[in-house]
Amino acid sequence: MDKEIKFIRIIGKVATVLAILMYVSYIPQILSNLNGNYGNPVQPLVAAINGLFWCTYAYFKKNRDWPVFLANLPGILFGAIAFVTALH
């Protein structure tokens, strides 16, 4: 396998894991929201919309971009939950 291709695959996997961790980090905010300590709903809403657009882009490309899709899918879920629970 070409070194460049191997490097790109490794970067894609690492970036996917980091993006998922970024979105999973909404869990403490969600828990705080549920306990009545509401956070600002704007940032998670934007994260959910961003994730939706990236997932749509990655899925509908001629050659689907699964690392981009998988990296942003949790953003839709956790961003939306954080947004909804922050509304009071």
Q: Which pLDDT band, with edges at 50, 70 and 90, does 88 fall under? A: confident
Residues 6+ apart with CB under 8 A from 20: 70, 71, 74
Q: Which pLDDT band, with edges at 50, 70 and 90, does 12 fall under? A: confident
Q: What's the confidence (pLDDT) of residue 57?
A: 97
pTM: 0.86
What are the pLDDT digits (tens) for 18-74? Answer: 999 999 999 999 999 999 999 999 999 999 999 999 999 999 999 999 989 999 999
Domains contained in the chain, CATH given: 3-86 (1.20.1280)
Are the CB atoms for 48 and 16 separated by under 8 Å?
no
